[in-house]
Structure formats: structure tokens, C-alpha cells
């Protein structure tokens, strides 16, 4: 396992971690206390993935297009 905290993980790393957690929980071969810890980690990984996706969606939404449909730049992000 990586020494990175969840907040330091890329989307892909967090998604792989979440898939690992889900796989372990689905197999049901971990003790109850470990299942609870895994579930909590999975919830944090899910939250991180959702945040990364939201950031990406906002960046895509900020792209301005020309009348011909080509990228012309980006709109300034609000609040910056």
C-alpha cells in the first residue's frame, strides 16, 4: 500500500483503492472490526473520487468554444 494520504492520491489511485476495499468487503473474509475500518476508508476514497470528478467537470465546463466548436480558451473560474 502507498504511503500517500487519500488527499494526495490521484483519481486513479483512489479509484483503485476503492475497488480494493469493495472487493475485500464483498468477499466477506475480514473480521467485523476490519470491515468497519475498510468501510470508513472506502467512504473517504469515494468522497475523494467525487471531489476529483467535480473539479474535472468544472474545468471542462469552463472551456469556451468558438462558433466552429474549437476550444478558444477558458472562462475565468469564479471566486479566484
- Domains of the chain and CATH, by start: 6-74 (1.10.287.1040)
- Torsion, CA 45, CA 48, CA 50, CA 27, rounded to 10: 0
pTM above 0.85, yes or no: no
Mean pLDDT for back-to-back runs of 10 residues, the chain (80 residues): 84 97 95 96 98 91 76 64
Q: DSSP string spanning 10-54? A: -HHHHHHHHHHHHHHHHHT-S-HHHHHHHHHHHHHHHHHHHHHHH
At 75 the three-state DSSP class reads coil
Amino acid at each position: 500500500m502507498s504511503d500517500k494520504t487519500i488527499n494526495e492520491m490521484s483519481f486513479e489511485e483512489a479509484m483503485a483503492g476503492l475497488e480494493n476495499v469493495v472487493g475485500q468487503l464483498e468477499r466477506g473474509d475480514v473480521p467485523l472490526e476490519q470491515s468497519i475500518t475498510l468501510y470508513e476508508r472506502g467512504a473517504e476514497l469515494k468522497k475523494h473520487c467525487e471531489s476529483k470528478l467535480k473539479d474535472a467537470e468544472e474545468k471542462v465546463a469552463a472551456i469556451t468554444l468558438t462558433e466552429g466548436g474549437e476550444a478558444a480558451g477558458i472562462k475565468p473560474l469564479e471566486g479566484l
